[in-house]
Structure 1
Amino acid sequence: MRTKVRAPRAVPLDGAQRNNLTTPLYLTTMKVSLLVASNKYTGAAAAAEHCCRALMAAGVDSQLVFTGGNNLERRLRGFDWARPTLRKERGLGDLGHNLEVIREAAAAADLLICHLPHDHALAVHAKAYRTTPIVRNFRNSGHVRRDPYHRHLNRRLTAALAANSALEAALRSTLRREVPVGNFPVPLEERFRPGRDPLRWRERLGIPGEAPVAGMIGKVARGRGFDLFLQAAARLDESTHLIVIGHGEAQPELEALATRLGLTKRLHWTGYQDRELPAIYAAMNVVLFPAAGSDHGHRAISEAQGCGRPVVAADLPGVRDLVEDGVTGRVVPATSESMGEAMANLLDRPSDADAMGSAAAAATEARRFPMVGRALSNFLEEVLRQTSSTR
C-alpha cells in the first residue's frame, strides 16, 4: 500500500479571525495525530499535549491519542481532540488493541507524531507508515541511539523534531541525511504570566512577606537535583526561605539532609501542584534548575520565566536555548558553590532579579502556543510538500 500524501492547502481568514491575535493568518487543511503511550501529565506526555494545543492554535486539525486511566485523562476530560484510547499493556490483547488504535489514528491524519520510544515502536509494528508519514518528537538525549533496532525504527521516519538544539545536532548526525529535523521549544501555557499575588502562598506556607525566597520544582527523586538545591541553599543568608514543589520517594532522605544542614524550619513542601503553579512561582524571588527531568525541553524553566522569575540553571544541554546568562537568568556549573553564589547575588540585589525576571517573561513570548504552533505547522507542511514531491 502506498503512503497517502496530500500537500496542505492554506485557507485565508475573514476579518474577524484576523483581528484575533491568537489566530494564525491562515487555516491549514493538514490533519495531525499525536501519539504518546503515557497516562500521566508529565515529561513527554505534557510536551505532546502542549504541541497538540499549539498546532490547534495555528489552525491545524489535531488529535492527541494517549493512554487512559490517570491524571492526563482527568486533565483533558471533555476535550473532543483528546482520545484516551490506548491501554496499559498487560497482555497480548492490550497490545493488539493499541496497534489497531494507532492504525486508525494514522489513517485519519496526514502525519503521525510519536513522542516516546514505545510510541515509535508501536507505530512501526502497526505499519502505520504504509498509510501516513511518521514524525518522531525526540524528547530525551538518551533516545538518540545507533543500535540495529533503533536504526530499523528510524528508517521509517519521514521527519524528526528535537526538544533542544543539542538534540537537534545529535539527530542530524544520527538519522539519514534526507530526514528533516526541526527544533521547537515546549509551547508555554497562557496562564504562566507575571502579576499574581506574591503573598497568598507565602501566607499559606508561613513565610514572612519580606523574606527572600528560592524555590525548585520537579519529581522528588534521586538524580533530580534536590540535594544540590539544599546544599546550595545552605550557603544563603539565614533569612532565606525555600519552597519545593513536587512529591516523590526521595522526600524522607531530603528532609534528613535538610535537618543536617539546618534548613528544616525554612523549608516548605507544597506537594504536587498544577493549577496553583503560577501563584507559587509568584511567591519566589529566584528559581533553581539544577538537573534535567525526563523531558529535555526543560518546561519548568519556561514556566518560571513566564511568571517573571529569574532562573539559575545548571549548564545542561538545551538550557542556553532558554536562558541568556546575565540577561534572563544565570547559567552556571552544577555545583553547590556556583549555584549558591548565583542565587545569593540575585537575592541580595532585588532590582537585578526583577530586571532579569522581566526580561525572562518577555523572552517567553516566542514560546507561546500561537508562535510555536505556527512555526511547527510551517515545518510539518514543508515535510508534507517534500514527501509529496518525491512520490
Structure 2
Amino acid sequence: MKEHKPVVIVGAGVSGLALGNFLLREGIDCVVLERRDRDHVERRQRAGVIDTRATRAFRKRGLEDRVVGGAPVQAGLGFRLDGRDRWLELAVEEQLEGRFCPQQVLVRNLITVFEQDGGDLRFGAEVAVEDIDRPRVRLGDGSIIEGDFIAGCDGSHGATRAAVPEDRITHHSHEYGYAWLVVLAEVPAVRPTLLAIHQRGFAAQFGRGPTASRFYLQCPLGDTAEDWPDERIWSELETRFGEPIATRGPIVEKQPMPLRGEVLSPMSHGGLHLLGDAAHIVPPASAKGMNLALYDADALADALVHYYRKDDPSLLDAYSDTRLREVWNYQAFATWFTDTVHDAGDATYRGEFRHRVARADFERLFISGTANRLLGEFIAGLN
C-alpha cells in the first residue's frame, strides 16, 4: 500500500508533536509516526521549563491556553552556595512568560490537542527512511508513505539521522568529563528550582509537578546506578544542599548520564529536515534542550507555511543555516553555564585556577547588570 502526506513527521516527542500541531493549525496535512507505544511517550520525563520564546510560539498559533500549563517561571534563580542561599534576580528588559511544565504534561497536552483537531498520529509505527531526496518512508507492515518533506524528530539514535549518509553530515561534539546521576523521586519541590554549588560537586532539584522532583548529582564518569543506593543519594543531596531533605519519598528511577554537547551540520538533507535531539544536544544544566527543539519546530513550520502558501522555498533552503547560527549561540551559553556551576564548586576536576575563575564569573552575575541581563536573555530564549 502507498499513501501520500505533504509532511511526514518521524517521532512523537516535543518537536514532532509541536510541529504537527503548528502545521495542523495552518491547514497543512501531515502524519506523525512514533515507534513507541502511547503509554511510553506520555510517561517519558525529561525537561520541565517552557521558556518565554517557546511560550510565544504556541501563542502565535492560538495554542498557548490549550497546551501550556504550570506556574509562571520566576524572574530569578535560587542557588545554594556552600550551604548559603543566594537568590539571583534577573534584570531582563522583557516580561518573562515561561512556564514550569513537565515534559510529560506538555506531551500529553500536545497529543490531546492534535487528535482533537483531527491530526493523524500513529503509535507503534516502525519506520525506515528509504529516500531523503525524494522523501519516502516504509512502515513495519510494508506500507509506504511518500511526502514532500520529512521532519526528523526521533532523537539522536533515530531512523532519520541514520538515513543521512555519513559523507553528507559533520558531527561536532564535546564531552564535559563528568556525569550527573539523574534521579526522579516522589518528593514535592520546596522551590521550583534549586541549584547547589558545593565542593563535593554540583546538585540540583527541579519540580516535576505537585508530587515529584527531578534531582541531579554530579558524579564521576563510570559510576553506575548500583553505586548509588537510595540512602547514599539522600545523604549526598543533604550534604550539598546544606539542609535536610524535608520529605524522602520513593525513588522511581536513577541513571547516570555523562554530560555532552553535540551539533550535526547541516540540519537539512534534500527533503529531510532534522529537529531537536536529532540535530543537537545540550547539557541539561542550561535548560535549553526542549526549548531549542520547540524553536526548531516553530522555524520549520514557518518555512513550510511560506512554501505552501507562496510557492517560495527560500525559508526552507535557509532552515539549516538559520537554525545552526542559533544552536551554536545556545551551545556557547550551555557550555559556559555548565562549566561555571560545576567549577565554582568542585576544584578537584579542573584545578584551583578554573575554580577561582568560575567563582569570579558567578559573582559577576550579582554585581554586573550587563552580565545579569545577558543570562536572563539566554534563560528566556531572547538572545
TM-score, normalised relative to structure 2: 0.34
- Larger proportion of strand: 2
TM-score relative to the length of structure 1: 0.34
* Structure with greater contact order relative to length (CA < 8 Å, sep ≥ 6): 2
